[in-house]
Amino acid sequence: MNKRFRVLLLALATAGLTVAAVASAGQAKQGLAVQARAGTGKNFAGYTSTPELAVQQASYKLGAAANPGFVFYSADTNDATAKMTIFSPSGYTSTLTQAPGSTVGQAYAIVKANALGGALLPLAGPVVVGNPADPALVAAYAHCKSASDPASPQQVLVLNTSLQGAAIQVPDFINVAGPYVTQEICLTPPATTPFQAQVILANFTINGAFTNGASAGPYQWSTDLTPYSGTVPDPASTVEVRTYVGLPTSFTLKRARSKPSVVKFTGKLAVAGINTAGLKLDLYYSTSQKPAANFLNPSLVGLTGKTKKPARTKGLKANGTFSITRPKVKKKTYFQARLEDEWTLVGGCQGPSPTGLPIPCLEELLSPTNTNQVAVKPPRKTRHH
């Protein structure tokens, strides 16, 4: 995520507004290297600032349920996005048999209301399985589908949100295309949307649909983004962004021995196919549980975390280990480390687009993930006799 936007959201949260937020080192023998996300990146017509589609999974174990959380972010200086097509990693399996009406996730978004002076407004609601025969969804699919899609989607999800009391339903049409499961989401142009709203950020989860690959190695979530030119989609300006997932990934945090005046933690990050040396992590802390940002919890707290300014580790050692100290706590405090969505692969995207087309790929993020949490109690007071 653009860090300036995160700072703005934290300021809005301090002011009492409930809104959402989202937040990348050469080729090495151990695996691909990563570097801090540049922020602006490559620029193309429609997207003068690099958009983002980050994917955090509930599990990075082989063959486990992925239950991903998706975060889309595009600066308000970019043209509005008309369509996003998300490709699951080749090698993942899918289950698209959930019954219509079932709740399979949650959604949270921020829109810029151009009719209200550019105010940022929140949307929230469940993600439910829709009925493909519903006339409104049939019409929406006819407008959104690509030429190679089947006549009816294999499954349709609906992000059931509301904006200032007005229902905003966003369909997510799902199909299997070769080794991929595709999600197609089409957005209306701001000029025809209530409050002339432009989506700046969207976070949604889908549970029970995706299962991790069974083989260790690199996997990719790929997303094609098509901007509007005025009120008309501009396919010629479509760009691609990706999220790298290394299976398996392990990320641990534990308390270590230290002086009474401080609390020391050690941990280790290992991502299949990635040289993690030099990566820096954030340490969140709070008197309430699960303090770290978490894209699997679409909400302000889930997307910004419970710590206004998390502590930062030094670069990871060659074996992926790290240590960090904090002052002793006065109340029971929970600590949790996070690999943020701010690291990209050196050299850019790996391999061709899943579309088979020469779509420019702007960046490939490393999938964000969290450690376990560690509870720390204040030191016992020494009794004097």
Residue range 29-54: average pLDDT? 79
Residue pair 291/336 in contact (Cβ under 8 Å)? The answer is yes
Residue range 301-328: average pLDDT? 97
Q: Which helix (H) or strand (E) holds 136?
A: helix 135-144
Residue range 244-256: average pLDDT? 99
pLDDT at position 227 over 50: yes
- What is the pLDDT confidence band of residue 24, given thresholds at 50, 70 and 90? very low
Cα-Cα-Cα-Cα dihedral sign, residues 120, 121, 125, 130: negative
Instruction: Detail the DSSP E strand segments found in 275-376.
Output: 282-286, 311-312, 321-327, 333-339, 343-345, 361-366, 369-376
User: pLDDT value at position 32?
Assistant: 87
pLDDT at position 136 over 60: yes
Alpha-carbon distances of 2 from 39, 73, 76, 355, rounded to whole Å: 7, 8, 11, 27
202: helix, coil or strand? strand
User: pLDDT value at position 383?
Assistant: 67
Residue pair 198/111 in contact (Cβ under 8 Å)? The answer is yes
Residue range 131-156: average pLDDT? 96
At 153-205, the pLDDT tens digits run 999 999 999 877 888 899 999 999 999 999 999 999 999 988 899 999 999 99
pLDDT at position 26 over 60: no
**Residues 6+ away with beta carbon under 8 Å from 378:** 328, 329, 330, 331, 332
User: pLDDT value at position 46?
Assistant: 87
Nearest to 122 by CA among 240, 18, 277, 228: 18
- What is the pLDDT confidence band of residue 14, given thresholds at 50, 70 and 90? low
Nearest to 310 by CA among 2, 25, 3: 3
**Percent of the chain at pLDDT above 70?**
90
Which of the pair, 42 or 363, is modelled with greater confidence?
A: 363
Report strand pairing: 239-247 vs 361-366: parallel
Q: State the average pLDDT for the chain.
A: 91
User: pLDDT value at position 253?
Assistant: 99
> Rounded to whole angstroms, how far apart are CA atoms 124 and 161?
5
Nearest to 90 by CA among 224, 181, 183: 181
- What is the pLDDT confidence band of residue 384, given thresholds at 50, 70 and 90? low
- What is the pLDDT confidence band of residue 19, given thresholds at 50, 70 and 90? very low
Residue range 128-133: average pLDDT? 96
**Percent of the chain at pLDDT above 90?**
83
Residue pair 291/373 in contact (Cβ under 8 Å)? The answer is yes
Residue range 88-96: average pLDDT? 98
User: pLDDT value at position 66?
Assistant: 99
Residue range 216-227: average pLDDT? 98
**Residues 6+ away with beta carbon under 8 Å from 37:** 24, 342, 343, 344, 363, 365
- What is the pLDDT confidence band of residue 44, given thresholds at 50, 70 and 90? confident
44-58, 318-332, 356-370: segment of lowest average pLDDT:
44-58
Cα-Cα-Cα-Cα dihedral sign, residues 101, 207, 343, 337: positive
pLDDT at position 123 over 90: yes
Q: How far apart are the first and last CA of the chain?
A: 55
Alpha-carbon distances of 1 from 22, 71, 376, rounded to whole Å: 5, 9, 30
